[in-house]
Amino acid sequence: MNTMQQLGTDLSWQLLAFYLLVPLALGGYGAINNWRLIESIGPLWAVAFYLGHAFVPWFSTCLLTALAMRLLQPWRPRPVFIMLAGHTMACLITLPYITWLTSLFAMHWPASGLDAQPTSPLAVNYWGYWLRAGAIWLCTNFVFDRFLNLPRYRYDTVSRSAAPKSAAADTSVMASNVSRPAFLERVPVGILLPDVIAVKAEQHYIRIVTAKKSYLVLHRFSDALCELPSDDGLQIHRSWWVRRNAIQRVRQNARKMSVVLQTGEEIPVSGPYQVLVRQLARSTELPVTP
């Protein structure tokens, strides 16, 4: 499959909505709410002004948030901190651009009433813009992440092309190719990484769950998450990581969700991770029951 075919396969309506429809909606909303500008420069130029006011800042924020996510990967912060870091960096670029765009239109249409935004971080209006744009940025990402099944700036996202793998094949590959992580140093030597079906945080300890037995080890859960390969499993709760092929089914009841492991243990899925579990269930055809 070539690059263009892969792009067409991965493209979804959620991506189109996030990267195209959202800035279109923001630009259109700004235009129809400034009748003075429409009357002074005409509807087409007013729409062009607000689309330029929306698209460049939106894509700049997307790119810089992706950069922030990459730079912060060793610490794996929560998505909200990644988005705030990207938004803050974007403001340093987009506000001078908005000032230039506004000055350009104001020069051609002096009666438009356009005022340039202050670009200094010390200006009060600068932080007013930071708050308004930041609220839109965070809320939009929250809606797409929580309700539209488009994970935003997470380190544990499920690949759309993920396919179910047999436990035997996974065990043989991982046993030969993956080094023993630090959190397994205090369990019997015979326990390999593919044997781990779940990891639970218990204060300063972690409980390593295998098909036959569980082990309590003094280790930080956050460190264990960094040592676990992201392709093998995912975090489904602030205190739980589970292996993907160890999940037998997903239980969904009203707003509550849980997964049932091959051991029969049922583990709750907290709200921020439900979108990942739903995506995993679709990609691997896991049964979803009440």
pLDDT of residue 113: 63
pLDDT of residue 288: 86
Question: For the CA atoms of 96, 97, 102, 107, what is the dihedral angle to 10 degrees?
Answer: 90
Digitized pLDDT (tens) for each residue of the chain, 290 residues in all = 443 443 344 447 888 899 999 999 998 888 888 777 777 778 888 888 889 889 999 999 999 999 999 899 888 888 999 999 999 999 988 888 888 888 888 777 766 666 655 555 556 677 888 999 999 999 999 998 878 877 788 775 544 444 344 444 444 444 444 456 777 777 777 788 888 999 999 877 888 999 888 888 888 888 888 888 878 889 999 899 999 999 999 998 877 899 999 888 899 998 888 888 888 888 888 888 88
pLDDT of residue 35: 76
Is the CB of residue 68 less than 8 Å from the CB of residue 85?
Answer: yes
pLDDT of residue 147: 81
* Helices then strands, each counted (H, E), the chain: 10, 9
Give me the helices (H) in 78-194, please. Answer: 79-108, 124-146, 167-177
As a whole number of angstroms, the distance between CA 115 and CA 101 comes to 10
Instruction: Return the axis-axis angle of helices 271-284 and 124-146, rounded to nearest 10°.
Output: 40
Cα separation of the two ends of the chain? 38
Shortest CA distance to 84 belongs to which of 40, 158, 150, 136? 136
Question: For the CA atoms of 23, 29, 35, 36, what is the dihedral angle to 10 degrees?
Answer: -40
Q: In what side-by-side order are the strands of the sheet with 247-253?
A: 266-269, 256-261, 247-253, 288-289
pLDDT of residue 71: 92
- Which position has the token pair 């506004």? 102
pLDDT of residue 114: 64
- Amino acid at position 173, single letter: V
* Domains of the chain listed by start with CATH number: 3-146 (no CATH), 168-289 (2.40.50.1020)
pLDDT of residue 15: 85
